[in-house]
Structure 1
């Protein structure tokens, strides 16, 4: 593929009276022409629309992916708004079935209310839809689990001709349907495995990054859930290790009404590091928009404390704000070498960073197109924030391009729902089941109705 300058696009001004559904969440891409949105109210309406219409179709979900993943061709095609097909469909003692367009927040709230959780730990935010999370590979942290799609027991889809297909875990095409890039059909229902909720105590500490290469895998092997934020300029890491809470901690948590329990002692050892990052963020974004949310995402590393709560209270506490977020999965066994390369590159270039490098590791995924397919994986995440005028600083853009090249050269697989320069990757070489996925696509959508310019170039 040719290099695109739109790998990290700037925000565009909104048009007066514009249908907000025609913009992606980050407001850096138009998804289709006016009048291209169709919003069926029932599964039957959706089936009827697909069986009696033609042209390309893409699902907009919560619109949190880059625009190129969602948008349809200029002047033609349909954007499906499936927000009316949302909510709980059914449940048993150990399963829940939700409509595909249900926000993850609603899934988590239902499970928490009955003392349950998914097998997969959550990502940092929960605004995305269940179908979108599966289709792009949304994941949490911890080697004992993988992406949210790993908790799926069955997936119900409406195909391009309006017929309905059910895919159980033992179906030969299930690994393709698990993470489909919206290219196989419309996910209208997902049955998920539920388990008894675990109450975790998350211990937070600041450590020197000198031995990060060795410590990262050890932390992940020795703890149930781990997340780390690496500040290369100050050579510091804030690491969270979460394990099952003690009986006393659970009692204190329950006595507080099940609200997140913050422990008494705070740690201020990273406050100077936080202030240094905030100065660079303020300088580069020239008056951050969105009510200062980018600033708040960084200040949360100040005066941190251990906490006790369920998995969603501990980890699903992100502040959703438009940004360019690049996340690349690297085989865990190679993560130490990648960290060393980033250290060497950072020492030479000294780039200005708006946010620490995010380090999350997961176990293998069955999904053929999952970045963690068949291997323990360390995800390296990088964030650059927009200025109030919608621009990206030249420093921020250069930083993302340079660091992505480093990870791509190491065999990295980018997160599909985030930003990446597709020219850097040899997809069939990265994904052993790439051709198997393409064969499933040809069988389920032979006319490529669910393609757009981006996925057509990717898969054709």
Structure 2
């Protein structure tokens, strides 16, 4: 039970008088002691802070990650709030440089205004910071792209002694800096590759899950962008496949004012399935009918095709406190994993709050990316908190068992989500693991940017 409690902590439901920055966004972890948050307003001020102090340092960003990734335990440790260092710093025809603490939604807004996009599909939640997104491996969907970190052309770090170092694509250590888990230094600016942003039409369909093990690969090979939600209990899948829009759809999108255009044909094919999922969610969590978890599920009801830019189509998540486990496995193994999950589900019939999320990406160059060096299928699993901040015992058992299944298949967990680290042999999973440790020792020899979690990982 101790291991389960570590991986899936209870949530504090009532905010006390303490500084909200001392808890992560989900309020299931305390990040530091009162008075430990420092908020420099310039890179020079950050340099001075690091040069004239000692003790551990962690950046809290938008606090969206689990507490073990963000927090520190030293009495004299510092939590850095960099919300004063944000915004567009420079832009060219095919690059854009942002301060590291700029939120993804602000990055996307700047690019969209100029008809641009990143060469990576967005994740669903855009409140996270750019530095946090690349440091934990945030990704979207589609085999022609990979993580947001793979769009980076240059990254600036302020090191433990306050010095500044710039890394550019092609540098020997760039693969480590792209996704560093906050353990190498403080990211203060990132230069990203950009490209013209097309308009996409996203077709939404309900399919039978009987052939999902074969269909998943076919969908991803045949379409630009793909995302699927699998309801094992009902044997159904809602799949979104996106391609560049034709002239008629582009015209309708523009005539609608440039917002997300919803096509007139609506399908109710999955409404009964959605109601069944909602009943299980509400029975387990005792939540009101129109709370945020329920909204995340009801969005699958009465679905319709849509046309818009990549951010309008895919960056539409609802930030909801939850335990989200996401494990990436080589795409070639995904069909076999789906069959094993089907067999396990048939035997156990777990109560699920949300469908299994299926997203595939191309290979990543970042050394510690779960999709490093291989086409990858990410399997996502969600359990929502009850009103009192607890998790249902059945929900916890579901997450533990399904993670064990995927870990046994060589799965690599998403760093910014929840997982049981005891299940993974990190050096075996990541060919560049020892190289990353060497870079960490060189850039932060005193391990000032370590906390209990990263120390256990690397030391």
Q: TM-score, normalised by structure 2?
A: 0.99
Structure 1 CA distance, aligned partners of 2:141 and 2:288? 29
Structure 1 CA distance, aligned partners of 2:96 and 2:398? 42
Structure 1 CA distance, aligned partners of 2:15 and 2:418? 24
Give the C-alpha shift of residue 93 in structure 1. 1.1
Partner residue in 1 for 2:431: 432
Give the C-alpha shift of residue 12 in structure 1. 2.2
Partner residue in 2 for 1:322: 321
Partner residue in 1 for 2:233: 233
Partner residue in 1 for 2:188: 188
Alignment of 1:116 onto 2:116:
yes
Give the C-alpha shift of residue 413 in structure 1. 0.1
Partner residue in 1 for 2:197: 197
CA contact (8 A) 2:102 2:129 kept: yes
Query: Which secondary structure state, in structure 2, belongs to the residue aligned with residue 326 of structure 1?
Result: strand
Query: Which secondary structure state, in structure 2, belongs to the residue aligned with residue 381 of structure 1?
Result: strand
Partner residue in 2 for 1:48: 48
Structure 2 CA distance, aligned partners of 1:405 and 1:71? 26
Q: Deviations over 1:298-322 (max 9, x none)?
A: 0000000000000000000000010
Q: Deviations over 1:255-307 (max 9, x none)?
A: 11111010000010000000000000000001259x60000000000000000
Give the C-alpha shift of residue 13 in structure 1. 4.7
Give the C-alpha shift of residue 3 in structure 1. 4.1
Partner residue in 1 for 2:456: 457
Give the C-alpha shift of residue 6 in structure 1. 1.2
Equivalent residue runs for 1:29-428 within 5 Å? 29-287=29-287, 292-428=291-427
Structure 2: 5+ residue stretches without partners: none
Q: TM-score, normalised by structure 1?
A: 0.98
Give the C-alpha shift of residue 251 in structure 1. 1.1
Give the C-alpha shift of residue 75 in structure 1. 2.5
Q: Deviations over 1:98-142 (max 9, x none)?
A: 000000000000100110100001001100000000000000000
Structure 2 CA distance, aligned partners of 1:448 and 1:207? 50
Following TM superposition, the consecutive aligned residue runs of length 4 or more in structure 1 with deviations greater than 6 angstroms are none
CA contact (8 A) 1:230 1:237 kept: yes
Structure 1 CA distance, aligned partners of 2:394 and 2:284? 8
CA contact (8 A) 1:24 1:65 kept: yes
Structure 1: 5+ residue stretches without partners: none
CA contact (8 A) 1:288 1:387 kept: no
Structure 1 CA distance, aligned partners of 2:197 and 2:348? 45
Give the C-alpha shift of residue 203 in structure 1. 0.2
Structure 2 CA distance, aligned partners of 1:270 and 1:421? 33
Structure 2 CA distance, aligned partners of 1:287 and 1:139? 30
Structure 2 CA distance, aligned partners of 1:108 and 1:288? 33
CA contact (8 A) 1:156 1:188 kept: yes
RMSD, aligned CA? 1.1
Q: Deviations over 1:174-204 (max 9, x none)?
A: 0000000000000000000111001000000
CA contact (8 A) 1:288 1:386 kept: no
Give the C-alpha shift of residue 76 in structure 1. 2.9
CA contact (8 A) 1:3 1:422 kept: no
